[in-house]
Every structure is written in C-alpha cells, then in structure tokens.
Amino acid sequence: MDHLVEVDNLTFKRAERIIYDGISLKVPKGKITAVMGPSGIGKTTLLRLIGGQLTPDEGDVRFDGQSIVSMSRKSLYETRRRMSMLFQSGALFTDMSVFDNVAFPLREHTELSEDIIATIVALKLQAVGLRGAAQLMPSELSGGMARRAALARAIALDPDLIMYDEPFAGQDPISMGVLVKLIRELNDALNLTSIVVTHDVTEVLTIADYIYILADKRVIGEGTAQEIKESDSELVQQFLKGKADGPVPFHYPAPDLKASFLGADK
C-alpha cells in the first residue's frame, strides 16, 4: 500500500522533557488514519511535526517520499500547499467574513478571477453546509459552524492531505455527527488522505480505517478498528474503556503521600 506520510523513528523533546521517544507511523493514501491517546501527550505536536512547523530531534518525517525535516524553506512552503490542517479552534481570521476566509488561500496562491473564486468558495461552503452563512463574521458562528467553515477553508485548494486536530472536542452530539459525516464524505469524495487526532474513542472507531494509539511517548497499539477493540494490551483497553486507573496511572508522578507528609522534616 502507498503511504502519503511516514514518520520514522521520531524523537522530539521540548526543553528537557521527552514528548516522543522513537515513534513510527505510516499514513496510507486515501484513507482516514486516526491518532488517539490521552490528553497532554502532544498529539497536536505530532501534526505540527508533520507540517514542518517543528523540527524533530531525531528521526524523519516524509511526505510523499520527501523528507520534511531536511527540506529548504521554499520547498517546505511548496509542500504545505498540498496539505492543510484544521485547528482545534478553527483559527478563522476574525477580521474577515466566512466567504473571505475560504477565499483567502485561493487569493494568496492562485491568480484566479474573483468570479471563479466566488464559485469555488460557494461550492466549498455548500459541501460543509454553510453556503447561507457566507457573509457572516466568524464571531457570529457557533463553535461547530466555525469548525465547518474552517474545514471549507482547509479544502479550498484541494489538498492531498488534511489533518484534523481534535475535531470533536467540545462539540454537541449533533455537530459531532455532522463532523464525522463530513470527514468521511470529504475523504471519499475528494480522494483525500486524512489524519484525525482525537481522544473521542467512539466517533473515531466508526470512521477510521487505521488507528494508532499513543501513550507514554510511544505507539502502544495500532490496527483497524476491529483489531484495536480486540487488542489484549492493558493500556489500549484502559484507554478504550476509560478506566480511571491502570497502566496510565491516576496520579501524576509524586513521592509517596505518607512519606511526604511524615518524613518531610527528616
């Protein structure tokens, strides 16, 4: 199978703290790959590493066979036109209408006439169901609508790869359903490759073709939805079932409570 993105033995440190310790992932072309894991393990960081906004300490990230890490700035910007990212907050430009937001990448990167841009924008907004909201400002949109508008902007240039950063976080069940449907449909209709980073287990299991579970700086499980459900790894099971304590401990690392209370003055 063809892989669009390959993460190879990647190590990343922030100051002295190790975020990733030699992880490897492969993202197959035309599929939805989910990356799951508990909050705070740097899943967003992974997307930024793939987008070339951060540089790994060791290892390599390849996009369509080319190494993102060793790319010149110019070719990195060229490559980024082929990928897009849906940020958690949507990251719409607050000083422009929804229409101008979606038109933005077209105006920046193409020399198309305003007529054609208007048509493309209308089509993209139609795809996410927001054609009627084209003239609204981002501050007038609900959280779910803002994310859909941002999605329309992300697909404006018909990228090869789209990365979703926590697309379901903080959404009501209806918006969540809409987003799940959109991710699946866009992926199939536009022949995209998608990476979804999330910790919402149920939604992901329904749409993802392949799943990686990250915890404790490495990949602890991978496979199709079925394989993941049947995994015999305790870690994976704890994550899927949402148990409070298990291999991922309930307590943030700390000295023993009794010892620190009684022995602090010794």
Partner 1 sequence: MQFFQSVGANTIGKVTAIGRAAIMLFGALVAMPRLKNVPLVIKQLYVVGVQSLLIIMVSGLFIGMVMALQGYTILVGYGAEGSLGPMVALSLLRELGPVVTALLFAGRAGSALTAEIGLMKATEQLSSLEMMAVDPLRRIVAPRFWAGMLAMPMLALIFSAIGILGGHLVGVDWLGVDAGSYWSIMQSTVDWNQDVINGVIKSLVFALVVTWIAIFKGYDSIPTSEGISKATTETVVYSSLAVLGLDFVLTALMFGIE
Number of residues that bind partner 1 (CB under 8 A): 21
Residue 14 or 81: which CB sits closer to partner 1? 81
- Only one of the segments 63-71, 85-93, 210-218, 226-234 lies at the binding site for partner 1 (rule: CB under 8 A); that segment is 85-93
- Only one of the segments 20-28, 102-110, 124-132, 246-254 lies at the binding site for partner 1 (rule: CB under 8 A); that segment is 102-110
Q: Least distance to partner 1 from the beta carbon of 202, Å?
A: 26
Lay out the sheet containing 32-36: strands in order across: 83-86, 161-165, 193-198, 32-36, 210-215, 218-223
Sign of CA dihedral 94, 99, 102, 105: negative
Q: Which uninterrupted H or E stretch holds 172?
A: none
- Only one of the segments 8-16, 22-30, 84-92, 249-257 lies at the binding site for partner 1 (rule: CB under 8 A); that segment is 84-92
Cα-Cα-Cα-Cα torsion 129, 133, 138, 141, nearest 10 degrees, comes to: -70
In the list 109, 181, 218, 243, the residue contacting partner 1 (rule: CB under 8 A) is 109
> Torsions phi, psi of 186, nearest 5?
-60, -40
In the list 91, 136, 169, 207, the residue contacting partner 1 (rule: CB under 8 A) is 91
Please report whether residue 115 would count as binding partner 1 according to CB under 8 A: no
State which amino acid sits at residue 105.
Answer: P
User: And the tokens for 224?
Assistant: 């199709």
Please report whether residue 108 would count as binding partner 1 according to CB under 8 A: yes
Please report whether residue 48 would count as binding partner 1 according to CB under 8 A: yes
Q: Which uninterrupted H or E stretch holds 11?
A: strand 3-14
Q: Which residues lie near partner 1 (CB under 8 A)?
A: 48, 51, 53, 77-78, 80-81, 83-85, 87-89, 91-94, 104-105, 108-109
